[in-house]
Structure 1
Amino acid sequence: MSEVKDGEPALANGPRASANGQRHGQDPVLVVSGLTVLVRGEDGPRAVVEDLSFSLSRGETLAIAGESGSGKSMTSLAIMGLLPKPGARIGGGSIRLGDRDIAGLSEGRMKAVRGRRIAMIFQEPMTSLNPVLSIGRQLTEAILAHEAIGRSEARRRAIAALRAVRIPDAEGRLKQYPHELSGGMRQRVMIAMAIALKPDVLIADEPTTALDVTVQGEVLELLRDLQRDLGTAVILITHDMGVVAEMADRVVVMKEGRAVETGEVGQLFDAPQADYTRDLLAAVPRIGEGRGRMETRALESRAAPPLVQINDLCVRFPIRSGFLSRVRANVHAVEGVSFEIAAGETLSLVGESGCGKSTTAKALAGLVDYSGDIILEGTNMAGRTSEERKAQRRKVQMIFQDPFASLDPRMTVGDLVAEPMVIHGTARREERWARVAGLFDRVGLSADQMARYPHEFSGGQRQRICIARALALRPRLIIADESVSALDVSVQARVLGLLRELQAEFGIAYLFISHDMAVVENVSDRIAVMYLGQIVEMGTRDQIFGDPQHPYTKRLIAAVPRPDPHARRRAFERAASEIPSPVRMIGDPPNRLELHDLGDGHLVASRA
């Protein structure tokens, strides 16, 4: 392994065995040489990928890693012939698939290659699947586009592809639509569509970024099994170095459109040569780094009365049907949840999508109706007037997952940060602007940026703006709902550092909501684990990560990809049954969820 210089990648020589037992270095199925991708700019064409070269052998996984804007996805789109035209085009180099250069193929000829010889799994399956077509229609059309077979045979192959990706009741799923499937199931459908024609090369562009850690583990193991069975070569595009360590044979690290380092995955993690690679690896949160580091402030705070106390919180959403639209059932989103948060403490809520984390946060912020008690600084919010709830809401602010969706694109960022003060009438105009300028400085932005609009900032900067907005009313509690999950690892590290600094300076308490257990371990004082609306385990950070008691907690922690290629999992622990539905018909007896460990990492859920 060596650092790339003058655009010449250092590719390893000689055949070698991958984690899947394949041999590499001979007869590559894909060779990219000197690839340059140009996009149209105000001052003429600009290179977003420059002089990139790599090869890929049958059965091999090559990871292309780097932060947003590094050129990873543009590289994959160029290989697939999907560059957005006329704004982007290949400006030089070749892409050889077998003995054929596909870089200059017309769209008509590329259609014959795309799907059959080379296929792609996109990051967000919901935007990649047609919402008005059934799963079966989309799968069979993809097969019929390349195979001269009848619809019954295409349907048989579609069912076989769904079974290959471990989708239960594959035949029944053909009739369903994308919105009827979970995020993990939709991603499995995308993988089934990609492998249905057994392509030579499979490009997976951030295939697990939006997935829960347990679903991520299942998808990664699925890709590994399919690669072993079919011998498919895989290009894995990701900014998650834990996923790189778990899956890759070789790695290309990209920055600003160029490869800065290429090498075997073990060598790259053990002895990175490029400064950028070292910085990237240093920013990765690792389980174990936060253990034994309970903050003194949080320990002292626990002796005082709690800032927030939640008792037997329940949130249910009615399901209406029939001519009179009567309530026939309820979705039990949150069921009997109780916890406390001390001033200056960070309590993390963890669990998979749909477990009730965000609904709990919305109830605490006064955004959904609930039953039970939410006591904020000794005041029970139940039964309060709207004005009283508004006054109390000043003490609780939220930072959401997607900063761009959280900011009005028509307003300047200065006005956006000042808006909470305007709504609550907490400061005069002159004082507001002085306070906004101070907040910008505190989150690492300059006052002269206040007149700009959200689209003029990077993702990390926009999240800093959201943090400044949350601080505008000087809250006692900030709810951070997946506030760093969409950020690159280095930006994530800077935002988390900022949150810790603000907590130490102002004594702010955090309710930190996340499915990323490595991040949770590094930021939390205490952790509550949620499963299907209920808290199944709660304790200090050291208790949860050092000696987890509940089988679901153990499964969550075991699912975290380790940023160490020498510690790859042999197999992922899977649930032995589907998660029970949170829907209960009116009149059904109340019951609680139980999760049983069947051994060998298999869990089964039931209602008791």
Structure 2
Amino acid sequence: MSAGVVDEHADAAAGAAAGPVLEITGLSVGVRGEDGEREVVSGLSLSLRRGETLCIAGESGSGKSMTALAIMRLLPQPAGRIAAGTIRLLDKDGSAVELTALGERRMRDIRGDRIAMIFQEPMTSLNPVLSIGRQLTESIEAHTGLSHAEAQRRAVEALKAVRISEAESRLKQFPHELSGGMRQRVMIAMALALEPDVLIADEPTTALDVTVQGEVLELLRDLQRQHGTSVILITHDMGVVAEMADRVIVMRNGRMVEEGATADIFARPRAAYTQELLAAVPRIGAGAGRRASGEPDEMAGKDKVAVVNDLHVRFDLHGGFFGRVTRRVHAVEGVSFSIAPNETLALVGESGCGKSTTAKALAGLVPYTGGVTIGGRELSGLGGDARKAVRRDVQMVFQDPYASLDPRMRVGDLVAEPLLIHGIGSRQERRERVAALFERVGLSAAQMELYPHEFSGGQRQRICIARALALRPKLIIADESVSALDVSVQARVLDLLKELQREFGVAYLFISHDMAVVENISDRVAVMYLGQIVEIGSRDQVFSNPRHPYTRRLIEAVPVPDPSRRRTRFARLDREIPSATRRIGETVPKLLLKDFGGGHLAAVAD
């Protein structure tokens, strides 16, 4: 065992000896709806020790976030209420404050000062019309007697503590001017500026790229070591749980089903639900049953479903008094690849690397230069009817199924809509095809009459898959199609995609930043960085022998769902991820791809 791990366990033991900082006994939370009040948290009891990281794990609807909101006394009003139980915040001298009995004014004093919370999506948590500095200093001034100048100094210190470069100048920036990882670091700085006793982090890394996720987790560890803060980490990512937690509570349907030390939960889970949850976690190296590394070459003679040749997508940025074009975003620069029938090509990389823009170009949704051929037909130069016919062969499944479905339409009509637009079949024939699709994706024909809000997230994604299959396309583009799903639902949707590929022979362009998922579903992998492909090869080639440093960094940053392999340190980014935006006239250096054999290509220096 490394010294870092020893130190970490010693810190946890010291925290245990210091006693609890938060105690919850018999907590029940009720939410009133159209059918009356229902319990979303039932009889929950837990204790959080000083300096400890307690993870609350479980799927959507398990009551994790409602527990956090109850602690903060931020339940949705007037529907939500604490129906029973106690929540006690303890001082080091043993005195306690009963949070459920406090008035709103007293509770406002405790929020931020003694208990702080980091929410999942920083863009919705930060006020878009106020500068970062204004939001930080307001929080500090509200809880301290510091002057504005002193509050600003502390705000700068907080930004430096979370390793934000040029902290003074960042105070003048607005949330939209920062990357997702930077915004999340601002949220952490805001939460820790007052050095609270308890920090509640609700899915703080779910929307982040894997490298940025590692940076944020390492930051939480550092700040915990420095300030002795107790952390409640809420997540459905069992890799994050294994990396971060001292203890784990597993929740389902508002109830605790299991509690224990992290090593015990992973090695000897007692509850059947915990066992199912751990079994569904995708693991790098567990992609059994996929094609061997040499087999993509066997597809060379096949007609390709899609061929992309020297694709470029650029967006001009206007600025100045006259709105002239001053800069240009080189979103996609010289990308080339092909996809064969019955093949899954995964496109991976961090946010802003050009993955989704490439997908939109294939679907004909953004202007581009270069060649895009679908089913043997080149898209550029096609007229309206011909382009519409080609688009039948390419369908997309998006990340958020609820945003993809019109809430005013029945789901059966939504799946039938592409058939109606393309004039395929009679009304009865369309209904029969939709019913067959519902059955094929694991839903019943009777559910065709329901509306999107009457389904779970995983069911809604199945409806989106059925809609994509309605026109019997040659290529389905799955753009982060499982990243928002719980791990067990994610596993079922991935299994469904594999089954449908075997049955219909459809090709997939699978876009994701989750390397473990990619390793389990892909035949070939293309790694993108700043609009260009830096490595491409079979799944086994890329994961077993990554040639480009960026590919290695992506793979190494994936949290391993095994506490015995917990890292003492995550790899830190030595600088912010560069931008694909350049001045007009500034050229982008073209990468040279070296052939390492068997179709494995990786970028090398000029």
Q: Deviation string for 1:95-150 (max 9, x for gaps)?
A: 11001111221111101111101000000000000000000000000000000110
8 Å CA contact retained: 1:301, 1:345? no
- What is the alpha-carbon distance in structure 2 between the residues aligned to residue 120 and residue 397 of structure 1? 39
Aligned position for 2:476: 478
Cα shift at 1:390? 0.8
Rounded to whole Å, the distance in 1 between the matches of 2:592 and 2:192 is 36
| Shift of residue 19, structure 1, vs aligned partner | 6.3
1:220 and 2:217 matched = yes
Q: Using the TM superposition, give the Cα deviation of residue 388 of structure 1 relative to its aligned residue in structure 2, in angstroms.
A: 1.1
Alignment of 1:342-357 (within 5 A): 342-357=340-355
Q: Distance in 1 between matches of 2:297 and 2:583?
A: 44
* Structure 1 counterpart of 2:186: 189
Pick the aligned partner of 2:27 from 31, 35, 39: 35
Measure how far apart 1:449 and its partner are: 0.8
Write the distance in 2 (CA, Å) between the matches of 1:299 and 1:549: 19
Residue pairs, 1:352-371, within 5 angstroms: 352-371=350-369
Q: Is the 8 A contact 2:12 2:246 kept in 1?
A: no
Residue 426 of structure 1 and its aligned partner are, at CA, apart by 1.7
Contact 1:292 1:542 in 2 (8 A): no
* TM superposition shift of 1:153: 0.6
Query: What do you get for the CA RMSD once the two structures are aligned?
Result: 2.0
Residue of structure 2 aligned with 1:242, choices 207, 220, 239: 239
Q: Which amino acid aligns with 2:47?
A: S
Name the CA distance, whole Å, in 1 between partners of 2:298 and 2:494: 22
Q: Secondary structure at the match of 1:445?
A: coil
Corresponding residue for 2:530?
Answer: 532
Question: Structure 1 residues 503 and 292, CA, compared in 2 at 3 Å: closer, same or farther?
Answer: closer
- The residue that corresponds to 2:3 in the other structure is none
Structure 2 residue identity aligned to 1:82: L
Q: Give the Cα separation in 2 of the matches to 1:302 and 1:433.
A: 39
Matched residue type, 2:25 = S
Residues 291-300 or 26-35, more deviating: 291-300
**How far off its partner does 1:587 sit?**
2.0
Unmatched segments (≥5 aa) in structure 2: 1-7, 91-95, 594-602
TM-score, reference length from structure 1: 0.93
Match of 1:53 in 2: 45
Which of 71, 81, 84 matches 1:79?
A: 71
* 1:88 aligned partner: 80
8 Å CA contact 2:411, 2:449 repeated in 1:
yes
SS in 2 for 1:335: strand
Q: Secondary structure at the match of 1:93?
A: strand
Measured against aligned partners, the alpha-carbon deviations of 1:374-403 in whole angstroms (never above 9, x if no partner) come to: 111221111111221111000000000000
Q: 2:154 aligned to 149, 153, 157, which one?
A: 157
Q: Which runs of 5+ in 1 are unaligned?
A: 1-15, 596-604
2:225 counterpart of 1:204: no
* Cα distance in 2 for residues equivalent to 1:590 and 1:275: 54
Q: Contact 1:201–1:234 at 8 Å: present in 2 too?
A: yes
* Distance (whole Å) between structure 1 residues aligned to residue 17 and residue 74 of structure 2: 28
Alpha-carbon offset, residue 20 of structure 1: 5.6
1:118 corresponds, among 115, 118, 128, to 115
Q: Which residue of 143, 168, 171 maps to 2:168? A: 171
Distance 1:214 1:71 in 2: 28
Residue number among 101, 125, 128 corresponding to 1:128 in the alignment: 125
Task: Encode CA deviations 1:274-296: one digit per residue, 9 max, x unaligned.
Answer: 00000000000000001573179
Contact 1:38 1:47 in 2 (8 A): yes
- 2:4 is aligned to none
Determine if contact 1:136/1:174 at 8 Å carries over to the other structure: yes
Aligned residues: 584
The whole-number CA distance in structure 1 between the counterparts of 2:18 and 2:325 is 65
Secondary structure at the residue paired with 1:24? helix
Check the 8 A contact 1:28/1:56 in 2, yes or no.
yes
368-377 vs 352-361, greater mean Cα deviation: 368-377
Q: Which residue of 1 aligns with 2:399?
A: 401
Once the two structures are TM-superposed, the CA of residue 298 in structure 1 deviates from its matched residue by 6.7
1:225-253 CA-partner distances (Å, limit 9, x unpaired) = 10011100000001111110010000000
The code of the aligned residue for 2:403 comes to A
Tell me the TM-score normalized by structure 2: 0.94
Write the deviation string for residues 151-193 of structure 1: whole angstroms up to 9, x where unpaired: 1110000000000000000000000000000000000000000
Query: In the alignment, is the contact (CA less than 8 A) between 1:298 and 1:344 conserved in 2?
Result: no
CA shift, 1:356, in A, is 0.1
Cα deviation for residue 59 of structure 1 reads 0.8
Q: Which moved more, 1:564-573 or 1:234-243?
A: 564-573
The AA in structure 2 aligned to 1:131 is P
How big is each residue's C-alpha offset from its partner over 1:480-510, in whole Å with a ceiling of 9 and x where there is no partner? 0000000000000000000000000000000
1-side partners of 2:379 and 2:36: how far apart? 59
**Distance across 1 between alignment mates of 2:383 and 2:558:** 44
Q: Secondary structure at the match of 2:274?
A: helix
CA 1:477–1:297 in 2, change beyond 3 Å: closer, same or farther?
farther
Matched to 1:136, the amino acid is G
Mapped to 1, the partners of 2:537 and 2:188 lie a distance apart of 38
The answer to which of 540-549 and 20-29 deviates more is 20-29
Q: Does the C-alpha gap of structure 1 residues 386 and 136 become closer, same or farther in structure 2, counting only changes over 3 Å?
A: same
Letter in 1 for 2:579: S
Name the structure 2 match of 1:6.
none
**Cα distance in structure 1, aligned partners of 2:336 and 2:53:** 45
**What SS does the corresponding residue of 1:62 show, helix, strand or coil?**
strand
Give the direction of change, closer, same or farther, for the CA distance of 1:232–1:363 in structure 2 (3 Å limit).
same
Judge which range, 115-124 or 373-382, deviates more.
373-382
Residue 195 of structure 2: SS of its match in structure 1? coil
Q: Give the distance between the partners of 1:208 and 1:271, measured in 2 at CA.
A: 27
The 2-side partners of 1:17 and 1:572 are apart by 17
Query: Hey, what's the Cα distance between the residues in 2 that align with 1:180 and 1:590?
Result: 23
Where does residue 523 of structure 1 map in the other structure?
Answer: 521
Paired with 2:321 and 2:27, the residues of 1 have a C-alpha distance of 62
Aligned-partner Cα distance in 1 for 2:518–2:243: 20
| Other structure's SS at 2:517 match | helix
- Asked whether 1:230 is paired with 2:222, we answer no
Residues 577-608 of structure 1 show CA distances to partners (whole Å, capped at 9, x for unaligned) of: 3333212222224424799xxxxxxxxx9998
Structure 2 counterpart of 1:106, one-letter code: G
**Is the 1:18–1:60 Cα contact (8 Å) retained in structure 2?**
no
CA–CA separation in structure 1 for the residues paired with 2:446 and 2:588: 57
Q: Residues 506, 62 of structure 1: CA spacing in aligned structure 2 closer, same or farther, 3 A cutoff?
A: same
Partner of 2:547: 549
Distance 1:39 1:299 in 2: 57
